[in-house]
Amino acid sequence: MTRLVPILLLLAAGCAHGPAPDRAVAAPDDHRAVLVEFWADWCAPCHTFEREVLRDPEMKRALGGVRFVRYDVDSFAGSAAYERLTRQRRVQIPMFLGLVDDKVTMRLAGLPETWRLVQFVDELGEIGGSEAELDGALKARPTDPNLLLRAARWYRIRRRDPEAMAQLTHLVQLPDAPEETRAEADWQLGRYLRKGAPRDPRAPAQFVLAHPRSSHVYTALDVAAILSDAPPDELAAAIRAVAAAFADDFGVRNGLVYRALAAHQYDAALELAQRNLTLRRDANSWDTLAEVYYYRGEAAMAVSIAERAAALAPADRDVASNLARFRRANGTPCPAVENMRKTGYLALPVFYGETPRDDS
């Protein structure tokens, strides 16, 4: 019998809300991952989850891939289980935990948008299942990129790194793998390969150059920004590669300007900010351009441009605050740029595989 039995039997005893817990939770042949929801009657978001999210067709589909247990934290058993599984006494609900082999491997606090919760449950379902089931699927579909990525996660969550790396290596070598899937595999494989090795300052920019549309480009750029020995020409090329990949996306390109500033790539930042004005000529775009000039040491130009932004959005407090900062010209940095640098320091061990888990 699986090690999940003690926890799940306890959970079943505390479930008195919504559908009954899966009666097969203790079945030895059911290897699905377990989704645990902690709730309370006084919790308004919990009622929203009950009333709206559980009725969503995509959520119903996703829940079919896991064992779903719901737990009232106001019950004696619920309070004890909450402390045991979350390792905290302060109640924060709704709380969703994903269990694999009796271990909490995923966690989501609060009630996000339905699509994000569906994604959470789908990802949990992918790391459940028995090894025999996974082996059978791999034999039937040995070149399925999504299956290979799922297999890598299945092995990783069980600390079987060599097998995870083998699946990722196979995936990145597939000629017809979708770029998004290949980029994710390259990201995870790179963390394995970099773990324990000297930090290569070129690695972040090289990842971005290889996968400029990856969901991990911001993390890689934030890391590159704080590496004093990162080659500046490669970093500038990486920033321009992302800008080219999102040629018509003002939001991405505008955020990229601030990352260029965080990386001290002032020429690239100016180039981006000026081109962004061709996409949108509003207070936001002018304010960003003013920030670039401020970082370039041209405070008078920054003030002149920021005044134009303030005229377009006289009620915008951020624009007004930036204008006042530019007028002081005392070197006070932009909070957004400083936050990106802080994020870079936090992401540094993630990028180089020095954290115990690969959840990013």
102 within 8 A of 7, measured Cβ to Cβ: yes
- Where does 5-126 sit in CATH, by number? 3.40.30.10
Question: Residue 349 above 60 pLDDT?
Answer: yes
Q: Does residue 16 register a pLDDT over 80? A: no
Q: What is the mean pLDDT of residues 215-222?
A: 92
Query: Do 267 and 236 form a contact (C-beta atoms < 8 A)?
Result: yes
- Quote the pLDDT of residue 27: 58
The values of phi and psi at residue 58, to 5°, are -65, -35
pLDDT at 21: 39
Least Cα distance to 217 among 256, 248, 173 occurs for 256
Q: What is the mean pLDDT of residues 82-94?
A: 88
Segments of the chain assigned E as strands: 34-39, 67-72, 95-100, 103-109
Is the per-residue pLDDT at 8 higher than 50? no
pLDDT digit string, tens, across residues 226-248: 998 999 999 999 999 999 999 99
pLDDT band at 5 (very low <50, low <70, confident <90, very high): very low
Q: Regarding beta strands 103-109 and 34-39, do their DSSP bridges make them parallel or antiparallel, or are they unpaired?
A: unpaired
Q: Which H or E run includes 157?
A: helix 145-157
For residues 215 and 20, give the distance between their C-alpha atoms in angstroms, rounded to a whole number: 38
**Given a cut of 70, is residue 357 above it in pLDDT?**
no
pLDDT tier for residue 4 given thresholds of 50, 70 and 90: very low
With a cut of 60, say whether residue 78 has pLDDT above it.
yes
The rounded Cα 307 to chain-centroid distance in angstroms is: 36
User: Nearest to residue 12, comparing CAs of 2, 24, 29?
Assistant: 24
**pTM for this structure?**
0.75
The pLDDT of residue 28 is: 63
- For 326-357, b/e burial (b = at least 16 CB within 10 A) is beeeeeeebebbeebbebbeebbebbbbeeee
Residue pLDDT, tens place only, 100-153: 988 899 999 999 899 999 999 999 998 998 999 999 999 999 999 999 999 999
Beta strand spans in 14-167 (E): 34-39, 67-72, 95-100, 103-109
As a whole number, mean pLDDT of residues 30-59 equals 94
Instruction: Kindly report the CATH number that applies to the domain delimited by 203-344.
Output: 1.25.40.10
3-state secondary structure of 36: strand
Give the tens place of pLDDT for each residue, 273-301. 999 999 999 999 999 999 999 999 999 99
